[in-house]
Chain A
Amino acid sequence: MAATQRPADRPRPVYLDLFAIRKPVPAIVSILHRASGALLFVVGIPALLWGLQASLASPESYASFRAVMAHPLAKLVALALAWAYLHHLFAGLRHLAQDMHIGIDLAPARRSAAAVFAAALLLTLVVAIRLW
């Protein structure tokens, strides 16, 4: 019980080199949940609204929208956003299940994290095939 006697103001040794700590799958899914959310905010929302505007405004703007989206770089951006949306969606569904105390033990939590990863990547592959 020596640890409890440690003075509160004496700094404890902290080792938090995030790139050296081996992270379990749920941790990777979790940080990608956040990263994908940030990407969807920064790039996703303006891209979505731009696409909506361009595709609806007129037949000419619709045609130029299609032309822009035919560019490999635009397809790559669309693919990245599709992955972000899918990963964020599935990771969110996993959270909803866990909120209802479904799959909160260690083993099922690891399995569901792997499933989120796999499902998002698999459907991203489907989107990629559809795009190219």
Chain B
Amino acid sequence: MVSATRNKHVVGAHYGLADWLAQRFTAGVMIVYTLYALAILLWHGGLDHAAWKALFASQFFRVATFLFVLALIYHAWIGMRNITMDYVKPLAIRLPLQGAIIAALVAYAGWTIGILWGGGR
């Protein structure tokens, strides 16, 4: 216990303020998109496939959606890392777990690009 204050351990984020700020900024992006998308849905009173498809044919809406997903991914990373730092103490488990979380989030980003710009395939 005494050595814990003297030796440095490879734990923790060490850039708390930047993360605190990023968590709030990404939340703001998601709030704006959520209200925007909700307004569109309520305005149309539900969308059939053609109208839904037409909405996503707009480059602006695609970029806005991509921005939302990127904000979501960064937001989720900060949150999930905090959770692993709080509850998963052994580094041998925590680091692979964090690696898996990063891998999943990067894969989600790729998947999103495929959905938005991949022509549906």
Contact = CB atoms under 8 A, between A and B. Distances in A.
B1 A38 contact: no
Given A38-B83, A41-B76, A96-B24, A56 B31 contact: no
Interface residues of B, number: 24
Chain B contact residues: helix, strand, loop or mixed:
helix
A45 B115 contact: no
Contacts, number: 52
B80 A56 contact: no
Chain A contact residues: helix, strand, loop or mixed:
helix
A41 B120 CA distance: 24
Contact of B76 (A45, A57, A63): A45
Given A45-B76, A49-B115, A53-B115, 8 more contacts: A34-B79, A37-B76, A37-B83, A45-B73, A46-B108, A56-B56, A89-B31, A93-B31
Interface of B: 1-2, 24, 27, 31, 34, 49, 52-53, 56, 72-73, 76, 79-80, 83, 101, 108, 111-112, 114-115, 120-121
Interface of A: 9, 34, 37-38, 40-41, 45-46, 49, 52-53, 55-59, 62-63, 89, 92-93, 95-96, 99
